[in-house]
Amino acid sequence: MKKYIYTALIFIASLLLDIITKYLVILTISEHERINVIGSIVQFTLVYNQGGLFGILQGYQNLFLIVSIIVLIFIILFFIYEKNKGMLFCISMALITSGAVGNILDRVTGRKGVVDFINVGIGENLRWPTFNIADSVIVVGAILLFVVFFKEEKKRKTAEKNS
Protein backbone atom coordinates (compact mmCIF):
# COMPACT_ATOMS: atom_id res chain seq x y z
CA MET A 1 0.00 0.00 0.00
CA LYS A 2 2.90 2.33 0.84
CA LYS A 3 4.27 2.15 -2.71
CA TYR A 4 0.92 3.30 -4.12
CA ILE A 5 0.93 6.32 -1.83
CA TYR A 6 4.47 7.16 -3.03
CA THR A 7 3.34 6.59 -6.61
CA ALA A 8 0.45 9.04 -6.18
CA LEU A 9 2.68 11.61 -4.46
CA ILE A 10 5.31 11.40 -7.22
CA PHE A 11 2.60 11.70 -9.86
CA ILE A 12 1.05 14.75 -8.19
CA ALA A 13 4.39 16.45 -7.42
CA SER A 14 5.80 16.05 -10.93
CA LEU A 15 2.52 17.11 -12.57
CA LEU A 16 2.27 20.19 -10.34
CA LEU A 17 5.90 21.08 -11.04
CA ASP A 18 5.19 20.88 -14.78
CA ILE A 19 1.99 22.95 -14.56
CA ILE A 20 3.51 25.61 -12.30
CA THR A 21 6.71 26.02 -14.33
CA LYS A 22 4.77 26.35 -17.58
CA TYR A 23 2.47 28.93 -15.98
CA LEU A 24 5.41 30.95 -14.67
CA VAL A 25 7.17 30.83 -18.04
CA ILE A 26 4.06 32.06 -19.85
CA LEU A 27 3.73 34.92 -17.33
CA THR A 28 7.36 36.04 -17.41
CA ILE A 29 8.90 35.23 -20.80
CA SER A 30 7.86 36.47 -24.23
CA GLU A 31 7.64 33.90 -26.99
CA HIS A 32 11.14 33.09 -28.35
CA GLU A 33 12.85 35.39 -25.81
CA ARG A 34 15.99 33.76 -24.40
CA ILE A 35 17.04 34.08 -20.78
CA ASN A 36 20.41 32.66 -19.78
CA VAL A 37 20.17 30.40 -16.74
CA ILE A 38 23.61 28.78 -16.76
CA GLY A 39 25.50 31.01 -19.14
CA SER A 40 24.18 30.39 -22.62
CA ILE A 41 24.40 26.61 -22.13
CA VAL A 42 21.03 26.44 -20.33
CA GLN A 43 18.43 28.97 -21.34
CA PHE A 44 14.72 29.49 -20.77
CA THR A 45 12.77 30.37 -23.90
CA LEU A 46 9.02 30.12 -24.48
CA VAL A 47 8.16 27.92 -27.45
CA TYR A 48 4.77 26.44 -28.33
CA ASN A 49 5.27 22.98 -29.77
CA GLN A 50 2.40 22.03 -32.10
CA GLY A 51 4.09 18.81 -33.09
CA GLY A 52 5.45 15.76 -31.37
CA LEU A 53 8.58 14.78 -29.57
CA PHE A 54 11.48 17.13 -30.40
CA GLY A 55 9.12 19.25 -32.49
CA ILE A 56 8.62 16.71 -35.27
CA LEU A 57 5.55 17.05 -37.51
CA GLN A 58 4.71 20.63 -36.53
CA GLY A 59 1.06 21.55 -37.03
CA TYR A 60 -0.35 18.10 -36.22
CA GLN A 61 -1.41 19.01 -32.69
CA ASN A 62 -4.76 17.17 -32.85
CA LEU A 63 -3.08 14.00 -34.10
CA PHE A 64 -0.61 14.12 -31.21
CA LEU A 65 -3.45 14.78 -28.77
CA ILE A 66 -5.26 11.64 -29.91
CA VAL A 67 -2.06 9.56 -29.91
CA SER A 68 -1.13 10.89 -26.45
CA ILE A 69 -4.51 9.98 -24.99
CA ILE A 70 -4.35 6.48 -26.49
CA VAL A 71 -0.81 5.96 -25.16
CA LEU A 72 -1.89 7.26 -21.73
CA ILE A 73 -4.74 4.74 -21.64
CA PHE A 74 -2.31 1.92 -22.50
CA ILE A 75 0.13 3.09 -19.80
CA ILE A 76 -2.64 3.11 -17.19
CA LEU A 77 -3.85 -0.34 -18.27
CA PHE A 78 -0.28 -1.65 -18.21
CA PHE A 79 0.11 -0.34 -14.66
CA ILE A 80 -3.20 -1.86 -13.54
CA TYR A 81 -2.59 -5.29 -15.02
CA GLU A 82 1.15 -5.63 -14.28
CA LYS A 83 1.55 -8.26 -11.58
CA ASN A 84 5.13 -7.43 -10.60
CA LYS A 85 4.78 -3.89 -9.24
CA GLY A 86 8.01 -3.12 -7.44
CA MET A 87 8.75 0.34 -6.13
CA LEU A 88 10.96 1.28 -9.09
CA PHE A 89 8.22 0.20 -11.51
CA CYS A 90 5.67 2.34 -9.67
CA ILE A 91 7.95 5.37 -9.66
CA SER A 92 8.65 5.02 -13.39
CA MET A 93 4.96 4.73 -14.19
CA ALA A 94 4.11 7.76 -12.02
CA LEU A 95 6.70 9.85 -13.88
CA ILE A 96 5.67 8.70 -17.36
CA THR A 97 1.97 9.18 -16.60
CA SER A 98 2.39 12.64 -15.05
CA GLY A 99 4.46 13.80 -18.01
CA ALA A 100 1.89 12.52 -20.47
CA VAL A 101 -0.93 14.21 -18.55
CA GLY A 102 1.03 17.48 -18.35
CA ASN A 103 1.52 17.64 -22.11
CA ILE A 104 -2.06 16.55 -22.82
CA LEU A 105 -3.33 19.36 -20.58
CA ASP A 106 -1.42 21.87 -22.72
CA ARG A 107 -3.09 20.52 -25.84
CA VAL A 108 -6.65 20.61 -24.44
CA THR A 109 -6.53 23.97 -22.64
CA GLY A 110 -6.56 26.07 -25.79
CA ARG A 111 -2.88 26.96 -25.81
CA LYS A 112 -1.09 27.34 -29.13
CA GLY A 113 0.74 24.10 -28.38
CA VAL A 114 2.67 22.30 -25.68
CA VAL A 115 4.66 24.82 -23.65
CA ASP A 116 8.38 24.07 -23.98
CA PHE A 117 10.94 26.30 -22.32
CA ILE A 118 14.19 24.54 -21.38
CA ASN A 119 16.84 25.05 -24.04
CA VAL A 120 20.22 23.36 -23.65
CA GLY A 121 23.25 23.52 -25.91
CA ILE A 122 26.26 25.38 -27.16
CA GLY A 123 25.97 28.26 -29.60
CA GLU A 124 23.09 28.35 -32.05
CA ASN A 125 23.72 25.16 -34.00
CA LEU A 126 24.49 22.67 -31.21
CA ARG A 127 21.27 22.87 -29.20
CA TRP A 128 18.92 20.14 -28.02
CA PRO A 129 15.29 20.73 -29.02
CA THR A 130 13.48 22.85 -26.42
CA PHE A 131 11.64 20.76 -23.82
CA ASN A 132 9.72 21.01 -20.54
CA ILE A 133 9.41 19.28 -17.16
CA ALA A 134 6.82 16.84 -18.54
CA ASP A 135 9.24 15.73 -21.25
CA SER A 136 11.99 15.35 -18.65
CA VAL A 137 9.95 13.16 -16.30
CA ILE A 138 8.81 11.00 -19.21
CA VAL A 139 12.44 10.39 -20.19
CA VAL A 140 13.51 9.67 -16.58
CA GLY A 141 10.50 7.37 -16.14
CA ALA A 142 11.29 5.51 -19.37
CA ILE A 143 14.91 5.02 -18.29
CA LEU A 144 13.74 3.68 -14.92
CA LEU A 145 11.28 1.37 -16.67
CA PHE A 146 14.13 0.07 -18.83
CA VAL A 147 16.12 -0.61 -15.64
CA VAL A 148 13.12 -2.48 -14.18
CA PHE A 149 12.81 -4.67 -17.28
CA PHE A 150 16.57 -5.26 -17.34
CA LYS A 151 16.55 -6.36 -13.67
CA GLU A 152 13.53 -8.61 -14.21
CA GLU A 153 15.16 -10.25 -17.22
CA LYS A 154 18.34 -10.79 -15.24
CA LYS A 155 16.32 -12.39 -12.40
CA ARG A 156 14.48 -14.62 -14.88
CA LYS A 157 17.74 -15.81 -16.47
CA THR A 158 19.27 -16.51 -13.06
CA ALA A 159 16.19 -18.47 -12.02
CA GLU A 160 16.30 -20.50 -15.27
CA LYS A 161 19.99 -21.23 -14.72
CA ASN A 162 19.39 -22.41 -11.16
CA SER A 163 16.47 -24.68 -12.02
Q: Torsions phi, psi of 145, nearest 5?
A: -65, -40
Residue 27's region, left for phi above 0, alpha for psi from -120 to 50, else beta, is: alpha
Catalytic residue among 135, 138, 141, 148: 135
Nearest-5° angle of CA 88, CA 91, CA 96? 125
Q: Is 106 a catalytic residue?
A: no
Dihedral through CA 97, CA 113, CA 118, CA 14, nearest 10? Answer: -20
Q: What residues contact residue 55 under an 8 Å CB cut-off, 6+ apart? A: 49, 129, 130
Q: Among 18, 102, 104, 116, which one carries the catalytic annotation?
A: 116
- Give catalytic residues, as residue numbers: 116, 135
